[in-house]
Amino acid sequence: MINKYSNIPIYSQLKSLIIEKIENREYPENTKIPSEQELCEFYNISRPTVRQAISELTNSGYLYKEKGKGTFVAQSKMRIDVKNYSGFTDSILDSQVPGERKIIASNVYTGSQCKKLEDVFGLYSGNNPQFASIQYLSVLDDNIVAYNTSYIPLSLFPEIIEKVKEKKPSYDILKGKYPLVPVKSKSTLEIIYTDQAETQYLQVQPGQALFKIENTLYSKSGQVVEFIVSKYRADKCKLVFENIK
């Protein structure tokens, strides 16, 4: 129960109580929790206190709101085991049938439009390099968990966009290009916050936290063949690190 004489803020105590009920399945996933008024009356606390606790639990992904219906328990976060993470998870080139991904759009970029691509691929705008940009979603258990953009040099794969649209298998895309098969990756991770495009595709509110993972894929010769930017919903995914000596 709430201890009004504790040094711990009352809203923080309420948060802990709600989290405990979620973890104990007293509040199951996708079920409605008591209303603000009911929580006020049950714990004999003020409405602003309840509202602050609910707001913070919603922002951190424990709860979600449906307009006109109330506040519900969110689904458990998807587990991404970093120990087994290879950097190829969201690759187009390494996918068996990349066209079967949930493709959103495909475009052509020049190096001058994106300095980041020049740096990653070691190219120069004076050479007018062009890249295929393929945007797609990652879906786990019917939940959209990531918004991805794959960049592939058209100098290496001039027909990549057409082949993805035609749902060609990877062996067709890589036919005659086996020296370009990705065999190694380098990844970086940072926390970012959603912009307008991401809110649309990830179905989240503006300013919500995301895991941004950038993967650079290399061929056996060390040539960069693909650069992928993946933005995972932090409220839907958790990264699990394990260090084995």
User: In terms of domains, do 185 and 92 share one?
Assistant: yes
- CATH number of the domain enclosing 140: 3.40.1410.10
CATH number, domain of 16, equals: 1.10.10.10
The closest of 137, 142, 133 to 103, measured between CA atoms, is 137
Residue 118: per-residue pLDDT: 78
- The C-alpha atoms of residue 43 and residue 3 are separated, in whole angstroms, by 10
Split into its structural domains, the chain has a count of: 2
Residue 24 lies in a domain: yes
Same domain, yes or no: 21 and 96: no
* Residues 64, 88 share a domain: no
pLDDT at 37 (0 to 100): 94
Task: Extract the residue ranges of the chain whose pLDDT is less than 50.
Answer: 125, 245
Same domain for 172 and 60, yes or no, is: no
Same domain, 142 and 52: no
Judge whether 2 lies within some domain: no
pLDDT at 58: 87
Q: What is the pTM of this model?
A: 0.68
Whether residue 225 is found in the same domain as residue 120: yes
> In terms of domains, do 161 and 219 share one?
yes
Domain boundary pick from 27, 53, 73: 73
Residue where one domain finishes, among candidates 23, 42, 73: 73
Q: What is the pLDDT of residue 112?
A: 62
Summarize pLDDT for 55-111 with one digit per residue, the tens. 989 877 788 888 889 999 987 765 555 555 566 678 898 888 887 888 999 999 876
Give the number of other CB atoms < 10 A from CB of residue 131.
28
Q: Are residues 155 and 43 located together in one domain of the fold? A: no
Answer yes or no: do 95 and 112 share one domain. yes
Q: Do the bridges between strand 143-153 and strand 224-233 make them parallel or antiparallel, or are there none, so unpaired? A: antiparallel
The whole-number pLDDT of residue 245 equals 46
Q: Are residues 100 and 180 in the same domain?
A: yes
Last residue of a domain, one of 57, 73, 89: 73
Residues 63 and 86 in one domain: no
What does the chain come to in residues? 245
